[in-house]
């Protein structure tokens, strides 16, 4: 055949799929039995990616969806008809998958902790899978509620020489999560200082990158305690 299909549209349906729509060539250009289409695709870029091929044995098809693709990646797609003698010329088009979920920020660490602040540092994700807009830092404040027992009665039967009482205090953790946003991330590494923390308090912190579309995977969680602070002035 010397005819080729006309691509009407090519675009993403998600971060892992692309849909191509086309019109068939004129019947006079097929020169034999119209058996169907061959779709070939690969990553588009300076280095040639592995080309994959799909045979569609249905000449009435007008569209096809490529699946299991990589997020935020440009693909070169070619479309040909074929008859028993072989393939016709290809129509080529490029399309890019949608943004996906970023991989976690790397090497998150605490470089300094005082009684009211903590400085974080990390490296950018290995795969942003989109246009990186910044980072969100999640801070979990583990606050302790103290339960006291003020009154009690002696046991009805001591069954021995009573020496005293032990009071068990239940420490109930009340979780307060605060989100800090860091915009315009640096290319290779970044850091952020958490201020206004409570002295001698336990915290958990983790970092996520985000794109225009979605928030990425969480980094590892760091747990730390702020330093103690000096006592207040005595009352006279």
Residue 37 and residue 31 in contact, taking contact as beta carbons nearer than 8 Å: no
225/33 Cα distance (integer angstroms): 76
236 CB contacts (<8 Å, ≥6 apart)?
none
**Closest by Cα among 211, 204, 199, 220 to 138:** 204
**Closest by Cα among 214, 212, 219 to 192:** 219
Work out the end-to-end distance of the chain between its first and last CA atoms, rounded to an integer number of angstroms: 102
What dihedral angle (degrees, nearest 10) is formed by the CA atoms of 15, 103, 127, 211?
60
Rg, the chain, Cα only: 32
User: Going from the N-terminus, what domains does the chain have, and what CATH number goes with each?
Assistant: 6-96 (2.60.40.10), 106-152+165-225 (2.60.40.10)
Task: Name the token pair of 141.
Answer: 């404040």
Give the per-residue SS3 of 50-100.
Answer: CCEEEEECCCCCCEEEECCCCCCCEEEEEEEEEECCEECCCEEEEEECCCC
Q: What is the DSSP letter of 200?
A: T
160 CB contacts (<8 Å, ≥6 apart)?
none
Per-residue pLDDT of the chain (236 residues; tens, 9 = 90+): 999 999 999 999 999 999 999 999 999 999 999 999 999 999 998 777 789 999 999 999 999 999 999 999 999 999 999 999 999 999 999 999 999 999 999 999 999 999 999 999 999 999 999 998 888 888 888 764 333 333 334 555 555 555 554 434 333 344 445 565 565 545 445 888 989 888 988 898 999 998 888 899 999 999 999 998 765 556 66
Q: What is the DSSP letter of 30?
A: T
Q: Is 233 helix (H, G, I), strand (E, B) or coil?
A: coil
Strands annotated E in 62-201: 63-66, 74-83, 86-87, 91-96, 106-113, 118-123, 132-146, 171-183, 189-194
Amino acid 111: pLDDT: 93
Amino acid 159: pLDDT: 57
Residue 119 and residue 193 in contact, taking contact as beta carbons nearer than 8 Å: yes
Amino acid 165: pLDDT: 46
């Amino acid at each position: 055949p010397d005819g080729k299909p006309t691509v009407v549209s090519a675009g993403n349906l998600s971060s892992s799929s692309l849909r191509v729509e086309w019109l068939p060539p004129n019947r006079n250009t097929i020169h034999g039995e119209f058996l169907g289409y061959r779709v070939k695709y690969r990553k588009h870029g300076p280095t040639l990616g592995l080309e994959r091929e799909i045979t569609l044995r249905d000449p009435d098809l007008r569209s096809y969806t490529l699946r299991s693709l990589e997020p935020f990646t440009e693909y070169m797609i070619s479309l040909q008809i074929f008859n028993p003698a072989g393939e016709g010329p290809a129509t080529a088009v490029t399309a890019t998958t949608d943004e996906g979920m970023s991989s976690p920020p790397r090497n998150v660490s605490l470089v300094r902790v005082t009684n009211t602040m903590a400085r974080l540092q990390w490296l950018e994700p290995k795969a942003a899978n989109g246009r990186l807009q910044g980072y969100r830092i999640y801070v979990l404040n583990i606050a302790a509620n103290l339960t006291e027992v003020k009154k009690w009665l002696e046991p009805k039967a001591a069954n021995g020489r009573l020496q005293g009482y032990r009071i068990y205090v239940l420490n109930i953790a009340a979780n307060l999560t605060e989100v800090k946003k860091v915009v315009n991330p640096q290319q290779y590494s970044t850091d952020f200082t958490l201020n206004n923390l409570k002295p001698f308090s336990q915290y958990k912190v983790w970092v996520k990158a985000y794109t225009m579309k979605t928030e990425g995977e969480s980094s590892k969680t760091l747990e730390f305690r702020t330093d103690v602070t000096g006592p207040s002035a005595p009352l006279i």
